[in-house]
Every structure is written in structure tokens, then in C-alpha cells.
Structure 1
Amino acid sequence: MRAAVWYGRGDVRVVERAVPEPGPGEVLVAVAYCGICGSDLHEYADGPHAIPVGAPHPASGARAPLVLGHEFCGTVAALGPSVSGLAVGDSVAVEPHYRCGDCPRCRAGEYNICRHFGFAGLMGDGGLAEFAALPAYMVHRLPPDVPLEQAALFEPASVALHALRRAGGAPASLAVVGLGPIGLLTVRLAAERGVPRIIAVDVAPDRRALAARLGATDTVDAGRAGGAGAAVRELTGGEGVDVAFEVAGAQDALDTCLAATRRGGRVVLVGLGGRVRLDAWALVDNEQSIVASVGYRDTYPELMRLVGRDGVDLTPVVTSVVALDDVVADGLGPLSRGPDGQIKILVRPSADLRSPEGRPSPAGGPEAAT
């Protein structure tokens, strides 16, 4: 099979590898689509960050070189011993969290913060390949009304959904600062939840326009003179929003969130950033809370209901689909140099893959993304 393998910083190669054999409790998935995530870009541009290069990861037993890609879906190609509830040919979405099942957090059901936390595609072989062998607990069988084109977005949508859950309660207003795929999907799912006021903040006019189509009631230019936080407050009559989501991983975005949030409000950190500065006096004086959100848990069943039963469309964030052989030239390379109009790029490992309805998938991307 063909696979995109990370060997080191700036060194991802599409190579021939043997098709993996599913072991006990594992499923072999023929990959339909795999998204390129910001984490993949960080590993390509200036890694390793999460990829194990010395000792193997405790949950996967893997270390570099390994196959990238943790946002993927496909069909069941083979089952290892002792796997039940799945059949060859099933359409599936992959929830790529490794979990041990034994640590205190796993026993509490909080497997996204397992002691041996990790992702297939970062800490073990992932989905930028024609086939991937995975623990069966990662594989969710899709109902007939959920096409693979939608399931390709379940992983980033899960990050957004978990962040919304971390916000707590039912906010009457929120701001999303940073309109990459996660930020845009946060807007979409917040709108689906019926949040009355959703303010989307970014420097890019095309991303603000897309946020409005996805359900934002207002948009703000992050580079606005006087500050985007002040602009959000103006839109809320000077009060500020109940919750602000920092989805850029940048100091300026955090500053905007704190300035945009009301007294007693909450900021949810979703973006991956380094050290930040805080005005502790202002934070205490305003009794604001800052919480972090990492990964997700128990989100795939809700997303299947939203897409299948309620008809929620996640694919407007997809801007292109590329072949596996072009993942560096047309995916990782351009994205690591800047967005250049791209939001979410999906990789299609099989050139002749057909959709669940039997039609060839269009060369320009999933049908709903047009």
C-alpha cells in the first residue's frame, strides 16, 4: 500500500509499505478520506512535538517513522480475532484516541485525558495511507444516512463539540476567535444548539463570510482598530459574551477573548499555543474563568445523529481534496507556508474510491463542499 510516513522535521515521504495485518481486537480500515490537521503541520514544519522518536508510545508501542493522519474514515477491510459488532464492508468513522482503560481517568470515563493519551496518526500509524489497522474501540460503524464525505469531518467536529460542552450550561452569547476548521465547526455546532448570538472573529474576510453562512449572527475583523474585544462588547451592549473560544493558539486571540467576555464569563482554550501572559488582577476582578479543552470523548454518537437525523452539513469547511501522492506538494507544504485560501484539505488515498451511493467522488472535493 501507499502511505505518507513522517521521518523527521520537513521529511514526510509517500512510500510503499506492507498492508498491516489486524491483530487481536483490531480492525483493518480501507481509508476513504483523511484530513490534514494543524497538528500534522506542526509535526511537518518544526516537529517532533507529539511523535515519539525515542521510546515507543506506551499505548501504541510505536515510534517514528510512522504514518501521519488522525482525521479519517473508511470501510472495514478485515477483522482481527475477538472483534464483534462490525462486518467487512461497513462504513466507519475513526475516533483516533488511544486509551489504556485502566488509569483513574479512563475508569472515570474521561478517556480523552488518559494517562497514556495519544492519537493514531501522531503516536501510532494513522490514516494517511490506503489501509490502517486500529484498535476496535476506535471504530464507529456509520448508519446508512451518514456518508463518508461527512464522516471525514467527525474528528475536528468532535474537538469543537467537546469545547462547547466544556463551556458549560446554555450560553445566550458566545464569541469564536480564530476561524480555522475547528473555529468554523464550533460556529456551526453552536448554531445547531440554538445559541442566540454567535460572534465570529478572524482577520480573513472569506472566513468571516463562511462563518456567517454557518450560523454566526455577527462577524468582527480581528485586526479592527480599537481591538476586536471592544467590538464584541459593542455588539453586546457593552456587556460582553457569556463564553469566548480561543481557537487560534495565540496571545492576541486570548487577549481578545478576555476583553470580549463579560464579568463572570468563561474563556475556553482550544488552540495549541505556548506560554501566555495574563493580567491576574483583571481576571480576578472580573471573576472570569479560563478552562482548557483537549480532544473529545463520547462525541461520535451525537455527530452521527446530527448529520444523519438532523441533516447538519459539516463539509462547507472543505476547500480541496488531494491525492495521497500529492499530500506534501499540495497539502502539507502549502498549508505550512500559510493558509492561502485553504481551510480544510482532505486526502483521498484511493484514486478510484466510490461514495456510499456508488458514484465516483468528485475530483474537486466532497459533493456537499461545492
Structure 2
Amino acid sequence: MRAAVWYGARDVRVEDVKQGAPGRGEVAVSVAYCGICGSDLHEYADGPHAIPIGEPHPESGRAAPLTLGHEFSGTVAEVGPGVAGFRPGDRVAVEPHYRCGRCARCLAGEYNLCRHFGFAGLMGDGGLAERAVLPSYMLHRLPDGVSLRQAAVFEPAAVALHGVRRSGLRDGETVAVVGLGPIGLLVVQLAVRYGAGEVIACDPSPSRRALAYQLGASAAVDAGELPPGTADLAFEAVGAERTLRDCLDATRRGGRVVLLGLGGMLAVDGFALVNNEQSIIGSVGYRDCHPELIRLAAEEGMDFTSIVTSVVPLDDVVRGGFETLMNTMEEIKVLVRP
């Protein structure tokens, strides 16, 4: 089969790879769509960051070179021994979190904090391929009326939904969202759905600000133009020290800031943080979000595909996917169709 394989920074090759039948507890999925995530861009640009080198990941058993892609959907092609509840032909969304099921956090239901934290497509083979073999616990069957294109966006939507849940959003609160990439835009959409009174979106791109309006934002401003001290809650979806400061400055005393962006060392004014009694909340991945997203799509008609700007074939994943996303602000979410 054809797959986009990561060998190193700026070295992703679309090539023929061998794939065996699914083992015990596994399912083979014919991939319909796979999104390119900001995490994938980090790995392409200057990785490895999360991709295991040399020492295999304890749950996947894989190390580089491996197949990228963790935002995907498809159709069950083959079912391994011991798998119940799935059969060939089932349309599925993939929740690509690895979990051991044995550590304290897994036993508490917090599987996104598993001691063997990881994702198919970063710590194991993923969905930028014609076919993927996955643990069956990663799959969610889709009801009629929910498309495979829509299902490919559930993974970033789950990141946004988990962040909204972590925030403790209350009805009527004013929310600032800094950074209107895929996650920030989905936070705008979900914050409106879950009761925000006002959502102020912030990004230097006029086209992204326009899309935020379409998704329900009350206001959309350029970078650095957030009104100070007005938000009850802010979401940082960039991963930079400057935008974290923007979030803290925009948030009232006693307010909260949720970190969703992937950043390195971030310096904050400790005196201001304490004296303003502000909270900084980390949010990683998601847990128990896919069933709610499927329900929102199937029963409420919510459409998360507004962020999709292009669909490219697998053979064009480097030029039309990675390179394009790194060199233009006009693209937001690129889906690859193997």
C-alpha cells in the first residue's frame, strides 16, 4: 500500500510499504480522509518532537520511520481476532489516543494522561496511508448522515471540546480565543454552542477572522488588539509567549487561561498572576469527546468542516500539504484523500 512515511525533518516520503493483517484486538481501516495537524507540521519542519527514535513506543511497538497522520476516518476493511462490535463495511471515526488501560490515570478514566501517552500517526503508524491497522478501542462507528469528511475533523474538534470542558466555561461568560488555526476556530464554534455570551476572536489573518464570524464570534480583532481585562476566559491556541501574555492581559482578575498551543518555555509575570488570581490551565488531547461530537453532528446538524480549505491526493501530501501549510496563511485545514 502507499503511505507517507516520516524519516526525518523535511524528509517525508510517499512510498510502498507492507502491512500485515490485524492482530488480536485490532482492526484494519481503509482510510477515506486524513487531516494534516499542526503537530505533523512540527515533525516535518524540525522534528522529531514526539516521534520515537530508536526506542519503540511501549504501546505501538513502533519507532521511526513511521507513517504520519492522526486525524482520520475510513471504512473497516478487516477485523482481527477478539474484536467485537465492528465488521467490514462499518464507517468509522478514529480516536487515535494510545492507552495502556492499566496505569492509575487510565483506571481513573483519564486515558489522555496515560503513562504511555501517544497517538497513532505520531508514536505509531497512522492514517496518511491507504490503510491503517489500529486497536479497536480507537474506533467510533458513524451513524447515517455523518460523512467521512466530517468525521476526519472530529479529532481536532475533540481537542477543542476537551479544552472547552477543561475551561469550566459558564453560561454568559466572555471568551477570548487567540490564534485562529483549526483548533482556535473550532474553540470559537464550540464555545458559542456551550453557552459563551460573547466570543472575541484574535488573529492577524483577515480571512481567518472572517471565518470566525461565520462560526459565531461576536467580534474578531487583529493580533495585539484584544481589549484588556474584559474576558472571563481566554484560550491560547498558538503556543507562543507573546500570545500567552495577550491572553493574560485580556483576562479579568480571577479569570482563566487555557493553553492549547504547543510551545516551549513560556515566561509569565508571577506577581501579576498571583495578584490578579488568574489561573493557567493545561489541556492535552481529549477523552470521551468523540461520542459527543458524533451526536452534535448527527442530531444537531453541527458542521465542523468549515475549517477545511483543501483536499489533496496522498502523492501530493508534501508539496500540496506540508509545504503549502508552512508557507501560506490562506490554508487552514488540508485533508489528504488516500
**TM-score (norm: length of structure 1):** 0.90
Q: Secondary structure at the match of 1:98?
A: coil
**Equivalent residues in 2 for 1:319-358, closer than 5 Å:** 319-336=309-326, 338-349=327-338
Partner of 2:244: 254
Moved over 3 A (4+): none
Distance 1:92 1:20 in 2: 20
The one-letter code sitting in structure 1 at the alignment partner of 2:305 is T
Q: CA deviation at 1:146?
A: 1.1
Partner of 1:157: 157
Indicate if the aligned counterparts of 2:253 and 2:278 stay in contact, CA closer than 8 A. Answer: yes
CA deviation digits over 1:26-61, x for unaligned, max 9?
000000000000111111110011001111001110
Indicate if the aligned counterparts of 2:170 and 2:195 stay in contact, CA closer than 8 A. Answer: no
The one-letter code sitting in structure 1 at the alignment partner of 2:57 is H
Q: CA deviation at 1:170?
A: 1.0
Indicate if the aligned counterparts of 1:20 and 1:132 stay in contact, CA closer than 8 A. Answer: no
Indicate if the aligned counterparts of 2:36 and 2:336 stay in contact, CA closer than 8 A. Answer: yes
Partner of 1:275: 265
- 290, 306, 313: which one pairs with 1:300? 290
Partner of 1:32: 32
**Equivalent residues in 2 for 1:118-129, closer than 5 Å:** 118-129=118-129
Indicate if the aligned counterparts of 1:3 and 1:129 stay in contact, CA closer than 8 A. Answer: yes
**Equivalent residues in 2 for 1:1-370, closer than 5 Å:** 1-171=1-171, 172-222=173-223, 227-228=224-225, 231-233=226-228, 239-336=229-326, 338-349=327-338
The one-letter code sitting in structure 2 at the alignment partner of 1:268 is V
Distance 2:43 2:289 in 1: 26
Q: CA deviation at 1:9?
A: 1.2
Q: Secondary structure at the match of 1:327?
A: helix
Indicate if the aligned counterparts of 1:246 and 1:267 stay in contact, CA closer than 8 A. Answer: yes
Distance 2:99 2:122 in 1: 14
CA deviation digits over 1:66-119, x for unaligned, max 9?
000000000000000010111110000000000000000000000001000000
Distance 1:184 1:340 in 2: 14
Distance 1:177 1:64 in 2: 33
Name structure 1 gaps, 5 residues minimum. 234-238, 350-370
CA deviation digits over 1:230-262, x for unaligned, max 9?
x323xxxxx511110000001111011000001
The one-letter code sitting in structure 1 at the alignment partner of 2:174 is S
Distance 2:102 2:19 in 1: 30
Indicate if the aligned counterparts of 1:5 and 1:15 stay in contact, CA closer than 8 A. Answer: yes
Q: Secondary structure at the match of 1:69?
A: coil
Indicate if the aligned counterparts of 1:50 and 1:123 stay in contact, CA closer than 8 A. Answer: yes
Q: CA deviation at 1:169?
A: 4.2
The one-letter code sitting in structure 1 at the alignment partner of 2:216 is G
Tell me how large the CA RMSD over aligned residues is. Answer: 0.9
Indicate if the aligned counterparts of 1:27 and 1:78 stay in contact, CA closer than 8 A. Answer: yes
The one-letter code sitting in structure 1 at the alignment partner of 2:337 is R
The one-letter code sitting in structure 2 at the alignment partner of 1:52 is P
Indicate if the aligned counterparts of 1:62 and 1:123 stay in contact, CA closer than 8 A. Answer: yes
CA deviation digits over 1:285-343, x for unaligned, max 9?
1000001000000000000010110000111100000000000011112223x334100
Indicate if the aligned counterparts of 2:169 and 2:196 stay in contact, CA closer than 8 A. Answer: no
Q: Secondary structure at the match of 2:264?
A: coil
The one-letter code sitting in structure 2 at the alignment partner of 1:318 is V
Distance 2:56 2:214 in 1: 44
Indicate if the aligned counterparts of 1:92 and 1:141 stay in contact, CA closer than 8 A. Answer: yes
Indicate if the aligned counterparts of 1:29 and 1:74 stay in contact, CA closer than 8 A. Answer: yes
Name structure 2 gaps, 5 residues minimum. none
Distance 2:266 2:194 in 1: 31
